[in-house]
Amino acid sequence: MKPVLVVKNLTKMYGPKKVVNSVTFTIFDGQIFGFVGPNGAGKSTTIRMITGLTPITSGSIRICGYNIERNFTKAISNIGAVVEMPQLYPYLSGLKNLKLFAAFYGKAAIKRIPEIVKLVGMENRIKDKVSTYSLGMKQRLGIAQALLNKPKLLILDEPTNGLDPNGIVEMRNVLRALASKEKIAIIISSHNLAELEHTCDVIGLINNGRIIEHRTMEQINKLIESKQRVQLFCNYPNYAAMLIKKKYGIGSKIIGNSILVPLKEANMASVISYLTYKKVKIYSIKKIQKTLEELYFELLNNSRPSSSIV
């Protein structure tokens, strides 16, 4: 895997306010990086620095090895971006819109149009006027536009904003195909972690300008699993808790006629048969799983309040 985007200690000050605070991450080819955080966290400002729309206060950005400040043109020539809503002519067809933009990049881009239309799954509607498109289709046409110059890095700032669940799935399929087939590195921002769950390989959580978590989606799923609890409703909760503590060394919380135990799937059968053997009657078992959204808020709340004013 080759690093496509390398962001190091990236910082942005607006007056005395540090809105992006020493942000560091790397995205490799074929990888989808989800940049997630609440409104005002600093996502768009980071993205605007990566796309060269706003200057860096300190730190560095390298795109395909080119430093964005020292080698601006070369660095920028490797990116395609959809920042905010894609700019489209509503009374022209999708195809005509693409042709207009492709003319800007030259013949090679014009030749690539059919292939790109296929990549974003717009073959059936590309000759229709943009004004008849759904928001999801406009977003996909925006992605098509961003792909015309064969970028190595695709940048999307909150592309799922306002999309219905169907639109989100279509967008996800397009992005996954671009990453796996074209080996494009993708950075996609959102204020909703759950929306990116099945889209991204890596998640960077940002809050108050700082990256507070940087994990693979696999690690995040493991983290959720490790937080799984089982609620056992039984006749002697105190006794059951004592038995589990003694035999398995696992502490439980007693809630009325039930106990709440952090049990892994693998231990479950053993614990239940042991309790039954010890004459504890189990009435029902409820698995209590943290949702991705709950984990997200837990991580945000646990993050140190950053010193955004310096």
Ligand X SMILES: Nc1ncnc2c1ncn2[C@@H]1O[C@H](COP(=O)(O)OP(=O)(O)O)[C@@H](O)[C@H]1O
Q: Summarize as ranges the residues that interact with ligand X (CB under 6 A).
A: 14, 19, 37, 39-45
The CB-of-44 to ligand X minimum distance in angstroms stands at 3
The CB-of-172 to Mg ion minimum distance in angstroms stands at 20
Tokens of 101: 């933009």
Quick one: what does residue 45 bind among ligand X, Mg ion, none, with the CB cut-off 5 to 8 Å set by partner type? Answer: ligand X
The CB-of-200 to ligand X minimum distance in angstroms stands at 17
Q: Name 156's bridge partners.
A: 82, 188
Quick one: what does residue 37 bind among ligand X, Mg ion, none, with the CB cut-off 5 to 8 Å set by partner type? Answer: ligand X
Is 190 a residue that touches Mg ion (CB under 5 A)?
no
User: Tokens 């078992």 sit at which residue?
Assistant: 285
Tokens of 178: 């671009």
The CB-of-81 to ligand X minimum distance in angstroms stands at 14
Indicate the SS3 state at residue 70: coil
| CA-closest candidate to residue 160, choices 49, 82, 79 | 82
**Residue number with CB closer to Mg ion (43 or 112):** 43
**Residue number with CB closer to ligand X (48 or 140):** 48
**Residue number with CB closer to ligand X (42 or 94):** 42
Cα(298)–Cα(116) distance, rounded to whole angstroms?
Answer: 40
**Residue number with CB closer to ligand X (38 or 121):** 38
Indicate which single residue of 44, 78, 149, 199 sits in contact with Mg ion (rule: CB under 5 A): 44
| CA-closest candidate to residue 285, choices 221, 229, 222 | 229
**Residue number with CB closer to Mg ion (44 or 207):** 44
The CB-of-300 to ligand X minimum distance in angstroms stands at 12
| CA-closest candidate to residue 210, choices 57, 11, 26, 47 | 11
Quick one: what does residue 41 bind among Mg ion, ligand X, none, with the CB cut-off 5 to 8 Å set by partner type? Answer: ligand X
- Residue closest to Mg ion (Cβ): 44
**Residue number with CB closer to ligand X (19 or 116):** 19
Cα(184)–Cα(57) distance, rounded to whole angstroms?
Answer: 28
Nearby residues of 226 by Cβ (< 8 Å), 6 or more positions away: none
Return the exposure string of 270-302: e unless at least 16 CB atoms fall within 10 Å of the residue's CB, then b.
ebbebbeeeebeeeeeeeeebebeebbeebbee
User: How many residues bind Mg ion, per CB under 5 A?
Assistant: 2
Could you list the residues that contact Mg ion (CB under 5 A)?
A: 43-44
